[in-house]
Amino acid sequence: MGLSSIKNEIYNYFLEVQQKRFEEKQPLLSVYNMHKMVTSLKKSKVCSHWKKLQAKAIQRVITELDGGYKSFFRLIKKDHTARPPQKRTCVNEQFSTIIYNQSGWSFKKNYIVEINGIPIKYSATHLPGIKSMEIKELRLKKRNNKWLCDICVEESRVFLDITTNNKVLAIDLGLEKLGTGIGSDGKVVIINNKARKISKYYSKIINEIKSKQSKKEKYSRKWKHLQQRKKFFYNKKNSQVKQALHTQSKNLLSMNYDIIVVGDLNVKRLMQNPDSKLKKMSRSFGQSNVSMFLSFLKYKAEMKNKHVVKTDERQTTQLNSLTDKLFKEKVELKDREVNLSTSIRIDRDLNSALNIYRRWHQNHIAAVAPPLESFLSGVLDKNNIFIKKSIDSISTKV
């Protein structure tokens, strides 16, 4: 039995133990008690093969399971659709990522690393001082038939003081455009939805393959060939979407803004909306990969000592950013522009971005930023956004 299969077996074993205790209304086992059980189980004949997997890696598996249950009990209070940890299936030729924390590896000479007692030759000439690094964690994974090793290193970091004179960018996330932002310097930033375009292109190809595959006998030679083609295009779509989002998040952070404020968008709830009229919108949110973009933006911002802040975005579309009052008529999805006054007409996403900036400013009084009223009027005056003026002609595109 391989190391990945042993890892999944341990996970499933303790998952069943916890499920049984939950059904019997007994308190769940703590991480410490599960660690003690592993020590005794490895001495038995049935589970003696668990010894092949390094002790720290086993501890990490148990910690993952415990974290999954804690996350479930925390989310179920807010979202009744939350699901508890599920059983992991052991599919042939599928390797599950193994995490070694603090120990379980050793770097040798001639570019050889010994992981779990197995010597592996690696190619990392760009890391000449890898032996001197303060490595805290190592992750062994397999992606597209290639073995990869993630190395987590500890290093000191100086965090930005959020109360200093910082440049702020407020972004309204959307579908037509992935994001529309307004900076504290008055500049408008447009983030094109490249991920959605890529997803739509490859989804069309994948759906055609699915249609052909449904007419073939399952597990026949032609069915298997189409299955491989489908998997190929899924991987290609995912890699291109990730590359586009990585590039856009990197370009956004290179624009010299210290704080990026985004709306607290509940993508999961939007995608699960039962309203048949909003099914297309739910699908579009899935194709846009908004959550993935935010996760990329957040970890890249931490590396550059910048902040990504979430703020409440309820009613930001329905509020007039100039008067801070609701529009007389409800703004529908088809309405791409809104009238702030008799002479000012702007893009609805820009109006939402201005409202997000306003809310952030009101909630962070200590932050040194331009006075709100003068800032809003200054943005409109600087960009001269009137009825005949197009937003695309005065914006910076990412």
Query: Tens of pLDDT along 303-349?
Result: 888 989 988 888 888 888 888 889 888 888 788 888 888 888 888 88
- Of 118, 153, 188, the residue at which a domain comes to its end is 153
Q: For residue 397, what pLDDT is reported?
A: 64
My answer on whether 198 and 292 are in the same domain is yes
Query: Measured on CA atoms in the order 237, 239, 241, 244, is the torsion positive or negative?
Result: negative
Left if phi > 0, otherwise alpha if psi is -120 to 50, otherwise beta: which for 104?
A: left
My answer on whether 118 and 234 are in the same domain is no
My answer on whether 123 and 178 are in the same domain is no
Domain count, the chain: 3
Pairing of strands 188-192, 118-121: unpaired
My answer on whether 201 and 318 are in the same domain is yes
Query: Tens of pLDDT along 139-193?
Result: 888 877 788 888 888 776 655 555 445 788 999 988 788 899 988 888 889 999 9
Q: What is the mean pLDDT of the chain?
A: 82
CA angle in degrees (0–180, nearest 5) for 172-178-179: 30
Answer whether residue 60 is part of any domain.
Answer: yes
Answer whether residue 81 is part of any domain.
Answer: no
Q: How far is CA 319 from the centre of its chain?
A: 29
Answer whether residue 92 is part of any domain.
Answer: no
Answer whether residue 145 is part of any domain.
Answer: yes
Q: For residue 390, what pLDDT is reported?
A: 37
Q: For residue 247, what pLDDT is reported?
A: 94
pLDDT confidence of 10, banded at 50, 70, 90?
Answer: very high
My answer on whether 213 and 296 are in the same domain is yes
Q: Give 267-294 as a DSSP string.
A: HHHHHT---GGGHHHHHHHHHHTHHHHH
My answer on whether 183 and 37 are in the same domain is no
The range of the structural domain enclosing residue 40 comes to: 3-75
Q: Return the closest-CA partner of residue 322 out of 358, 347, 349.
A: 358
Q: Return the closest-CA partner of residue 353 out of 112, 134, 182.
A: 182
Within 254-391, residue ranges assigned H as helices are: 267-271, 279-288, 290-303, 348-363, 372-383
3-state secondary structure of 173: strand
Q: For residue 184, what pLDDT is reported?
A: 84
My answer on whether 210 and 61 are in the same domain is no
My answer on whether 263 and 129 are in the same domain is no
Q: What percent of the chain has pLDDT over 90?
A: 36
My answer on whether 361 and 328 are in the same domain is yes
Q: For residue 157, what pLDDT is reported?
A: 62
Separation CA 200–CA 287 (nearest Å)? 7
Q: For residue 379, what pLDDT is reported?
A: 61
Answer whether residue 215 is part of any domain.
Answer: yes
- For the cut 80, the answer to whether the pLDDT of residue 287 exceeds it is no
- Of 90, 122, 153, the residue at which a domain comes to its end is 153
Q: For residue 228, what pLDDT is reported?
A: 92
pLDDT confidence of 380, banded at 50, 70, 90?
Answer: low
Separation CA 381–CA 345 (nearest Å)? 13
Separation CA 73–CA 67 (nearest Å)? 10
The region of weakest confidence among 6-20, 154-168, 238-252 is 154-168
My answer on whether 204 and 139 are in the same domain is no
Mean pLDDT value of segment 212-221: 93
Q: For residue 215, what pLDDT is reported?
A: 93
CA angle in degrees (0–180, nearest 5) for 238-242-243: 115
Half-sphere exposure of 320 (CA within 13 A, CB side): 16
Answer whether residue 35 is part of any domain.
Answer: yes
229-258: b (≥16 Cβ within 10 Å) or e: ebeebeeebeebbeebbeebbeebbeeebb
Which residue has better confidence, 226 or 97?
A: 226
Strand partners, 99: 139
Q: Report yes or no on whether pTM surpasses 0.75.
A: no
Q: Return the closest-CA partner of residue 98 out of 130, 135, 142, 153.
A: 142
- For the cut 90, the answer to whether the pLDDT of residue 398 exceeds it is no
pLDDT confidence of 388, banded at 50, 70, 90?
Answer: very low
Answer whether residue 231 is part of any domain.
Answer: yes
Query: Tens of pLDDT along 69-113?
Result: 999 999 888 888 888 999 987 665 678 888 888 788 888 887 788
Answer whether residue 259 is part of any domain.
Answer: yes
My answer on whether 61 and 199 are in the same domain is no
- For the cut 60, the answer to whether the pLDDT of residue 267 exceeds it is no
CA distances from 393 to 189, 336, 382, 396 (A): 11, 16, 13, 9
DSSP 128: T
My answer on whether 26 and 174 are in the same domain is no
Task: Provide the residue type at 256 as one letter.
Answer: N
Separation CA 228–CA 38 (nearest Å)? 39
Which residue has better confidence, 246 or 304?
A: 246
Within the chain, residue ranges assigned H as helices are: 3-23, 31-41, 55-75, 194-213, 221-253, 267-271, 279-288, 290-303, 348-363, 372-383
